[in-house]
Amino acid sequence: MFFAEESGKDQAEAEVQPLTSVSISLAAVERISEIAQELATLSAQMRKSIQAGNLAKREPVDLRELARAVQLSRAARTTFIDQELIGEPAWDILLALATDESSKMSVKAASSLSGAPPTTALRWLALLEQRGLISIDQDANDGRRKLVGLTDDGRRAISGALQQFSINLQARDVGMVSP
């Protein structure tokens, strides 16, 4: 909600105007402000650390290796928490494609690696294709199969996400964020 103190009126006099169709509490707005401040502080610390060369000391990250580590970590979660509660089929498909040596896999393999039921996985594959992150093409060697691969945009997206993940790990390693 938009509150009177922001417009210079007494709260009692103010006419409350909806910000959106969803009501936002003052506590929520204050928490968002706190998070924004924490992010600004972290960003400044990271900038200083990068300028000092602290983050640059690590070896360059092999994104395929990092994608595989993320996949293994995500799979390990299912030991403790049901996959249905924590599944992210689109992300799992993108990770699988990022780790695949041949750069293409069958729709069936991608569906299986998503961790979702086949029909759900097919919907996610269609959405990823619509968004331009993957391509689905007929297998030239077997007309019955379709192959899935990352597009250039998909490769850039997964690479950017994994690089950011690596930066976050590095920041934690040099003590800028709590583990």
Q: What is the CATH number of domain 63-168?
A: 1.10.10.10
* pLDDT at position 65: 81
Mapping DSSP to helix (H, G, I), strand (E, B) and coil, where does residue 96 land?
Answer: helix
Residue 47 has pLDDT above 50, yes or no: yes
Instruction: Write phi, then psi, for 102 (nearest 5 degrees).
Output: -80, -10
Question: Can you state the angle between helices 89-99 and 118-130, rounded to 10 degrees?
Answer: 70
Summarize the confidence of residues 68-75 as an average pLDDT: 78
Range(s) of the chain covered by CATH 1.10.10.10:
63-168
The predicted model gives 146-154 an average pLDDT of 94
Give, rounded to a whole angstrom, the gap between the first and last alpha carbons of the chain. Answer: 35
Residue 142's Cα: distance from chain center in Å?
A: 34
- Give the pLDDT confidence score for residue 122 in this predicted structure: 95
Cα 69-158-119 angle, rounded to 5 deg: 90
Mean pLDDT, the chain, as a whole number? 76
pLDDT of residue 41: 74
Which range among 14-18, 130-134, 146-150, 155-159 shows the weakest confidence by mean pLDDT?
Answer: 14-18
The span from the CA of 80 to the CA of 74, in Å, is 11
**1 pLDDT above the threshold of 70:** no
Q: What is the pLDDT of residue 153?
A: 94
